[in-house]
Amino acid sequence: MAPKKPATAAGPASSSATSTSTSSTRQLDKIALNIVQHYQKTTPQRTKLLDTFMAFLVIVGGIQFAYCVLAGNYPFNAFLSGFSATVGQFVLTASLRIQTTEANKSEFPSVSPERSFV
């Protein structure tokens, strides 16, 4: 129900690249294509704006994590604060996105879709 674009970008790509080889590769490609199509079709323009922001957060978080792995975590609290800021921002934006999605209206009756944009 909940569309989460950044994961679409990262998740299946990595798993398909690593774990499968022959016929299932084609199948996974198809799945990925389906997901992308579905996303394009059902997501309102304004929600896509949120998704862009989330994608940005994933990239920033990814860079920080890569730095931590490659160059060491010397100022550990600096890394931690930076990383948890992106993660926290990501999940909070995701929550907002979930709440405002039309498909989830039944779960969040009191939340108006305008909440994130007013």
For residues 29-68, which are near other proteins according to CB under 8 A?
30-31, 34-35, 38-39
Q: How many residues bind other proteins (CB under 8 A)?
A: 43
Q: Does 24 bind other proteins (CB under 8 A)?
A: yes
DSSP string for residues in 10-57: HHHHHHHHHH--SHHHHHHHHHHHHHHHHHHHH--HHHHHHHHHHHHH
Least distance (Å) from other proteins to the CB of residue 71? 16
Which residues contact other proteins (rule: CB under 8 A)?
Answer: 1-4, 7-8, 11-12, 15-16, 18-20, 24, 27-28, 30-31, 34-35, 38-39, 76-77, 80, 84, 87-88, 91-92, 94-96, 98-99, 103-104, 107-108, 110, 112, 114, 118
